[in-house]
Amino acid sequence: MLTFKALQRNKTLKYGVPMLLDPTLEAKVNPQKQSVILEEEYQKIKDVNLEEWRNIRGPRPWEDSKEYQEQQRSRQGKAA
C-alpha cells in the first residue's frame, strides 16, 4: 500500500498528471483573444524607433558599479 509521502515522491503523479490535464485547460482558453494580443504587441514593437537605440553594457561582477556608472555618464555627456 502506498503512503502519502510515496505518492508525493512519485514523478508520474507530480509531473505527468498535470500534463494530461493541460488539454482540458487549453480548451477553456480562448485562442482568438491571444492572437489579438499578439497583433497589439506587434503594432507596439513596429512603432518603436530602433535607429536611435543604443546597447549600454552594465558593469561586470568584478567591476565597481559606481565607478562604471560614472564612466558611462561621462561618455554620454561627451557624445551628446
What sign results for the dihedral spanned by CA atoms 7, 10, 14, 20? negative
Task: Give the C-alpha separation, 24 to 40, whole Å.
Answer: 27
Q: What is the pTM of this model?
A: 0.29
Q: Per-residue confidence of the chain (80 residues) as pLDDT tens digits? A: 568 788 788 888 777 777 777 766 666 666 666 667 788 888 888 888 888 877 777 778 888 888 888 888 888 777 65
Residue whose cell numbers read 558611462: 72
Task: Give the C-alpha separation, 22 to 35, whole Å.
Answer: 19
